[in-house]
Amino acid sequence: MALTKQDVLHVAKLANLTLTPKEVEIYAEQLSSVVESFDELSKVDTTDTRPTSQVTGLIDIWREDVLQPVRTLTQEEALSGTEKTHNGNFVVEYVFADAD
């Protein structure tokens, strides 16, 4: 399945990317190659294959979530290195642009 330039432009818009016409051509070719690779995988007969989530034999090791006072700063200690605070919180510059 070959992706069209319109497909690439649609994905770029969803990702908020600005692409040059040259980039659109390059990505259309490269992404088509990726999609074709996945098409090949769909041809493999997996009817007798059990689903797996991982095959390494690793297991999750959990620890109890315990507060360790010697490794915890008080609010006063945490805020001691900043000049701007409000209601016990850091004050930082706005980092998100208006979503128009």
Burial environment of residue 78 by CB neighbours within 10 A (0 to 12, 13 to 18, 19 or more): middle
CA nearest neighbour of 3 among 26, 44, 17: 26
Residues found in the chain: 100
Greater pLDDT, 25 or 94: 25
Q: At what angle do helices 21-41 and 5-14 cross, to 10 degrees?
A: 100
**What class does CATH assign to 5-41?**
mainly alpha
Greater pLDDT, 52 or 77: 77
- Region 58-74: mean pLDDT is 87
